[in-house]
Amino acid sequence: MTPPKIHVDREIQAADIDYVDGRAELVGPGDDTLAGVTAAVIGIGHVWDADRFAGFPDLRVVSRMGIGYDNVDVAAATAADVVVCNAPDAPTVSTAEHTMALLLALTKELPTQRARALEGLGGPVVATARELDGSTLGLVGLGRIARRVATAAQALDMEVVAVDPAIEHSEVDGVRMVSLEALLASSHVVSLHAPANEATHHMINDASLATMRDDAVLINCARGALIDHDALVRALDDKRLAGAGLDVTEPEPLPVGHSLFGRPNVIVTPHVASSTAAGRRRLFEHAFDNALAVLSGDPATVVAPPH
């Protein structure tokens, strides 16, 4: 039986070929031979809309290397009779750890102290770094990644609260469910873990930032569109927010010289939270397995079946 032809929209690595082990023919982004491609394993580099689907006449499944699939026009996929899959388990560990890294780096003022060390400064300083013991972490969204962040925060004796419209319980694994308003008003650290959609677009804006503590830190390893970045800059300028850690931005990447850069209380990383060596392997492997499962008629992590 001829193995299926699967398009991968990033550079194909030797480890990818080893994992596939002859079960499919991988076609990279530089290969224009799209006829016969029945599956696509994709990141976030392209928008998959009706025009792009039209370029893949034999496509049966698009499989995202990650959780979010906001770069896939689901209606267009359905119209093209293409299944859409995601890999919700793949980035959990790496993204949760990156979230905690940003949280700790900001509350311990690591960028500022590194800069002091580079200037040859040492000795006692005015203590403004914070201990997390007894402080409150607010999670906007309580999916896989957020729950792992919650476990890590609880190990540091932080109180963890969350808001998630899909959860009806008042408490989940020691995490108290509250309203968004209560979460923003009470949390020393707010970490975003919501999907990007019409309801969440710019959910962090002038109004919501005004309800937050002026000593709060904002973390976003979800989607850049959750934050109005102009409002974030205003809050930082006015000292109505203590700091921000962003792995995702709007636009992405931020242009060189953006006003969020160069601030000691802001850390921006270029959407790399899931990009540990192990994380990247899981992203490809889970997405590939999902694609192969759809092609073989087996169950997969399907978010949009064909009509």
CB 113, CB 136: distance < 8 Å: no
Q: What angle do CA 32, 38, 44 make, to 5 degrees?
A: 70
Name the active-site residue from 176, 213, 234, 252: 252
- For every residue of the chain, which 3-state class applies, written as one string? CCCCEEEECCCCCHHHHHHHCCCCEEECCCCCCCCCEEEEEECCCCCECHHHHHCCCCCCEEEECCCCCCCECHHHHHHCCCEEECCCCCCHHHHHHHHHHHHHHHHCCHHHHHHHHHCCCCCCCCCCCCCCCCCEEEEECCCHHHHHHHHHHHHCCCEEEEECCCCCCCEECCEEECCHHHHHHHCCEEEECCCCCCCCCCCECHHHHHCCCCCCEEEECCCHHHECHHHHHHHHHCCCCCEEEECCCCCCCCCCCCCCCCCCCEEECCCCCCCCHHHHHHHHHHHHHHHHHHHHCCCCCEEECCC
Report the DSSP pairing between strands 171-172 and 243-246: unpaired
Name the active-site residue from 7, 193, 271, 286: 271
CA dihedral 125, 112, 98, 150 (to 10 degrees): 40
Active site residue 223: yes
Q: Which residues are paired to 242 by β-bridges?
A: none
Name the active-site residue from 60, 147, 193, 223: 223
CB neighbour list of residue 278: distance below 8 Å, 6 or more residues apart: 93, 94
Active site residue 229: no
Active site residue 10: no
Catalytic residues: 223, 252, 271
